[in-house]
Amino acid sequence: MTKIGLEIHCQLTKLESKLFCSCKADYRKFEPNTNICPICMGIPGSLPLLNKSAIEKATLIAMALDCSTPNRIAFFRKNYFYPDLPKNFQITQLNAYGNTSIGWEGKISVGNSKIKIRRIQLEEDPGRLIYEGATEKTKLTLVDYNRAGTPLVEIVTEPDFETPHQVREFLNILSDLLENLNVSDPGLEGAMRADANVSIEGGSKVEIKNIGSFHDLEKAVHFEITRQQSLAERKIEIIQETRHWDDGRKITVSARTKEEEAEYRYHLEADIPWVRIDDNTKNQLQVHMPESISSKKERYVSKYGITSQVADILSSDRYFSELFEKANNETNAKDIANMITTDIMGLLDTREKREMSKLEGDHISDLVGYIKSNKITRASAKLALDEVIKNGKQLSEIIEDLDLGHVSDESTLSDIITEVIDEEVKAVEDAKQNPEIVNFLVGKVMQKTHGKADPELTLVLLKKNLGIK
Amino acid sequence: MDLGISALNYVNGIKNNEFTVEEFTLKSLERISQVDEKLHAFLRVNDLAIKNAREIDTKIKSNQNVGKCYGMPISIKDNICIEGSKTTCASKVLENFIAPYTSTVISKLNSEDAIIIGKTNLDEFAMGLSTEFSAYGPSRNPWNTDYVPGGSSGGSGVSVSANECIASLGSDTGGSIRNPASFCSVVGLKPTYGLVSRYGLVSYANSIEQIGPMAKTVKDSAFLLNIISGIDSNDNTTVDNKNQDYLTDIDAGINGKKIGIVTEMTNPDGLSTDVLDATNDAIKTFEKLGANCEQVSLEMVRYAVAAYYTITSTEAGSNLARYDNIRYGYEFDSSGFEFNSYISQARSKFGPEVIRRMILGGFVPSAGHAGKYFSKALKVKSKLIAEIKHVFEKFDYLISPTVPIQPFKFGEKINDPVSFMMVDFNTVTANLTGIPAISVPYKITNGLPIGIQIMANHEEEHSLLQAAYALEKTVDLPEVPV
């Protein structure tokens, strides 16, 4: 049987500061080596100062993944040399003297199966190495410490996955969950990374590291299963080792065997006293935990009668579900849900667009109201949305500015209809035989009015004009 | 003007216009230039000392608020950071390291108008007990310059003992304040773990070390502890002592107090008979002062040195791993090195004792050996803590000789690491258990000092200083011969 396990690293990007100093947790906007201080640079004599909010955020994750949580948390040093590691040890966690990591023994549903979570721990991210220069001889390795000390949560699963597809499904669910908890923005570059371990019946466990994206992870796992199976078929032993994903060639290559594995000399980080988490704190966290995606979905379906498919899309996205909650006033929930999933999601399909957007919940509920009361067509509504997103003005103002109000004045419409009938001689003839063609003519009227014509009135007037019943 | 005066008398002298800050500072600098070529207490003297002195004089003359120190010259062990100046840890590795920030203890001294007169010598990265492992040459004992001053805060001990300054700050990981205090005949206090901020102290074994005062009198130690102690937002391990005043009732005496004489510390291997005689004499003195002295056994003390070296080496291996010459350090052309050989090259400037402990620190906690060494050491530590907790239910103080021997000659022990380690026998227990301990000068025998160690329970510095003061009052020692 194929067994796949994952190690996921997720940055707590929603925190203000790094895990042990006051530098920014979101390092992405800085010039290299400007988001640093004596603490995250490991300058002699500096001491780590624990960011307590990181413990809370990480504990939320443990609770959401149904983990046991400790009464006291301890940090350990993992010692190894690497140029991106300022102190040449990483402050992390280890369940050595009882369970003192953020969480353990959790589970999460993926489709019809349960994936067990072995352990969750809080640790600091190292800096980043940037390789520059094309050839071996001119190659430079640059170090940027802006990321060093960023709060990172490591989630280790049991080897409960059987297929690469299941892995991908899990990662999507986990990523939505982390976003929904408001602890991380998994869409940010490098915010969520994963390593995998793969073994097939009778073979040793092989770890795969260095995987850039979830998409690649699925491919890497798939490749690794195939590789191991073909070895097994030829009766070649599968050795325990670490392999790297070669992004260019789309294969895994051997990195090091287990015997040469680094010696980490774990010991307690004495500079950070053990942190107690009492039941009261845990209860408070539980009470303030954001509603889960599944409960949200269920509520959308049962309370508002939103279709399961729409509810699914809406609930699994934190940004749009928040927008929905703000916009809906119970009576129009279904229309709002539809507008968000059919129109708005397309208009705000990137992070940048969402960040720039001035669209508020009120805008959407107003807009749905206008459509319902026939003050604006659906086509005009789309134009209005575009405007609101750009400038955030009141809807009434925008409709006036853009002249988006319905053309429902009979004489104006009649003039336009006459124009269309004159221009579309053949269609008019056909329409008399085939009433379906009338819709084509309605479309032409819409074109001339830039979508503002009242579609029902247009139809009535057209039929009347053509003498169709 | 007497350079040998205590901190408290210095403050009185300034207040009574007996001398100005500038006059005293000049005298101190003069003294340093006279004797330090021989003693080598200082690695560097502060060029701005006179300027600082004048500024404080101006404040005094114009009746502005002046800090408690009134410009008294204080020396600082060179493993405590001051922004913009060198902190070398007496190592070639940090020869050019300029700290980008100031440690909490220095900020506190500055705000009380102390003058940092200079940075003092130590064993490289505070690993050693004689200053023979300083990369810049050893300091010499002012009582007899053929002898070591103790260590690792040897330079601090010498600077106070030889009247080159009023007081000093050292750091104590396994006796590094108390050992040179005993060898140089000054008072050395290792506070409760967490009482004094370590922010800005270059870590060696961060789970057990503390900064503490080295001073001419017990009262001066209390005076300095008042200034440097207390909770610090830059050090998560600090405790809130509620601004306790350690000078209040320092003369309360020890009548009726219970003192445990630690059996294991009064008969270790190699204990000198002169030290034993002095200790027995001190016990009689304590009894004359009204205390009840009784033998008490702490079984784990026999394993404390082994546990100490196992734990400190492990932490040293980790704390010193950052000296890879990537972000700061010394210049060398790194081209042609792959990473591992680069690291070896970068670390080639460490001295022999640091290398010894880093090798040990790579071995004792490693996957295949941790069970035999590091985990056992942690067990000894927790058993020792339990024993200490138990005995302090009965006793107010524990006493012993600070060091089982008197100062030794240069080179006498340097080639015998194990006998070197045993010199720490009596001091490491306070570090492993986190309790406060003080060394009080008690006797000069054969022209060399002997100190008595008093230990108290966690955060009982106030009571500890009372006992130390009571003992000190009974002692009359000769002037330092330098």
Per mean pLDDT, which range of A49-53, A341-345, B277-281 is the poorest?
A341-345
Interface test with B, best of A17, A21, A47 (most B CBs within 10 A): A47
Residues with Cβ < 8 Å from B69, sequence gap 6 or more? B7, B11, B109, B112, B113, B114, B115, B227
Structural domain including B42 reads 7-250+460-473
CATH number of A410-466: 1.10.10.410
Tokens of B441: 């000068």
What average pLDDT does this structure show over A2-25? 96
Cα–Cα distance measured from residue A341 to residue A155, given in angstroms and rounded to the nearest whole number: 31
- The confidence score (pLDDT) of residue B415 equals 86
Nearest CA in chain A to B336: A137
Mutation pick from A17, A37, A41, A43 vs chain B, by most beta carbons of B within 10 Å, is A43
pTM for this prediction: 0.90
How much is the pLDDT for A392?
Answer: 86
Q: Which residue among B77, B108, B119, B443 is the active-site one?
A: B77
Q: What's the mean per-residue pLDDT of chain B?
A: 96
Per-residue pLDDT tens for B35-74?
999 999 999 999 999 999 999 999 999 999 999 999 999 9
User: Where are chain A's structural domains?
Assistant: 3-281, 291-376, 410-466
CATH number reported for the structural domain that contains residue B192 in this entry: 3.90.1300.10
**What DSSP state is assigned to residue B111?**
H
The mean per-residue pLDDT over the stretch B78-105 comes to 96
pLDDT at A469: 67
Question: To the nearest whole percent, how much of chain A has pLDDT over 90?
Answer: 59
Within a domain: residue B296? no
Contact: A268, B207; criterion CB under 8 Å: yes
Average pLDDT over residues B252-278: 95
Task: Say if B289 falls within a structural domain.
Answer: no
**How high is the ipTM of this complex?**
0.95
Cα B97 from Cα B90, distance rounded (Å) = 11
Has residue A408 got a pLDDT over 80? no
Q: What angle do CA B206, B207, B211 make, to 5 degrees?
A: 60
> What mean pLDDT comes out for the span A285-314?
92
Could you write out the DSSP letters of every residue in B381-394?
HHHHHHHHHHHTTT
- Using the Cβ of A248 and the Cβ atoms of chain B, whether some distance falls under 8 Å is answered with no
Q: Select which of B176, B197, B203, B313 is catalytic.
A: B176
Domain membership flag for residue B35: yes
Contact call for A267 and B374, based on CB within 8 A: yes
Q: What size, in residues, is chain A?
A: 469
Q: How far is CA B347 from the centre of its chain?
A: 26
In DSSP terms, A89 is beta-bridged to A79
What's the gap in Å between the CA of A247 and the closest CA on chain B? 24
Domain assignment present for B97 = yes
Q: What is the pLDDT of residue A443?
A: 85
Distance CA A427, CA A422 (A): 10
Of the ranges A184-188, B89-93, B114-118, which one carries the lowest mean pLDDT score? A184-188
Res A419: pLDDT: 84
Could you report the per-residue pLDDT of B374-387, keeping only the tens digit for each?
999 999 999 999 99
Question: Does B216 fall in a domain?
Answer: yes
Which ranges in B267-328 belong to alpha helices (H)?
273-288, 301-319
- The total number of structural domains that make up chain B: 1
Out of B321, B327, B374, name the one closest to residue A41 (CB): B327
Per-residue pLDDT, A214: 86
Contact of B477 with B315, CB cutoff 8 Å: no
pLDDT band of B203, cuts 50, 70, 90: very high
Q: Average pLDDT of B350-368?
A: 94
Any residues with CB less than 8 A from the CB of A116 and at least 6 apart, and which? Answer: A105, A106, A107, A157, A158, A160
Q: Which residues of B touch A88 (CB under 8 A)?
A: 321-322, 324
pLDDT tens-digit map of A29-69: 999 999 999 999 999 999 999 999 999 999 999 999 999 99
Torsion of CA B380, B384, B386, B391, to 10 degrees: 160
Residues 62 through 101 of chain A touching chain B, CB cutoff 8 Å = 77, 79, 81, 83, 86-89
Q: Contact B234/A47 with Cβ under 8 angstroms?
A: yes
The residue behind tokens 């134009």 is A383
For chain A, the C-alpha Rg in angstroms (whole number) is 29
Higher pLDDT, A189 or A380: A189
Backbone dihedral region for residue A172 (phi beyond 0: left; psi -120 to 50: alpha; all else: beta):
alpha
What is the pLDDT averaged over residues A200-229? 91
How confident is the model over B226-251, as a mean pLDDT? 97
HEC sequence for chain A: CCEEEEEEEEECCCCCECCCCCCECCCCCCCCCCCCCCCCCCCCCCCCCCCHHHHHHHHHHHHHCCCECCCEECCEEEECCCCCCCCCEEEECCCCCCCCCCEEEEEEEECCEEEEEEEEEEEECCCEEEEECCCCCCCEEEEEHHHCCCEEEEEEECCCECCHHHHHHHHHHHHHHHHHCCCCCCCCCCCEEEEEEEECCCCCCEEEECCCCHHHHHHHHHHHHHHHHHHHHCCCCCCCEEEEEECCCCEEEEEEEHHHCCCCCCEECCCCCCEECCHHHHHHHHHCCCCCHHHHHHHHHHHHCCCHHHHHHHHCCHHHHHHHHHHCCCCCHHHHHHHHHHHHHHHCCCHHHHHHCCCCHHHHHHHHHHHHCCCCCHHHHHHHHHHHHHHCCCHHHHHHHHCCCCECCHHHHHHHHHHHHHHCHHHHHHHHHCCCHHHHHHHHHHHHCCCCECHHHHHHHHHHHHCCC
Least confident of A413-427, B152-166, B222-236: A413-427
- Tell me, letter by letter, the H, E, C secondary structure of B157-171: HHHHHCCCCCEEEEE
Encode pLDDT of B394-417 as tens digits. Answer: 999 999 999 999 999 999 998 888
Residue B356 lies in a domain: no
The reply to whether B350 falls in a domain is: no
Mean pLDDT across B140-150: 98
In this predicted structure, what is the pLDDT of residue A131? 82
Active site residue B176: yes
Task: Answer whether residue A134 shows pLDDT above 70.
Answer: no
- Percentage of residues in chain A having pLDDT higher than 70: 96
Does B440 fall in a domain? no
Instruction: Order the strands of the A89-92 sheet from edge to edge.
Output: A89-92, A76-79, A267-268
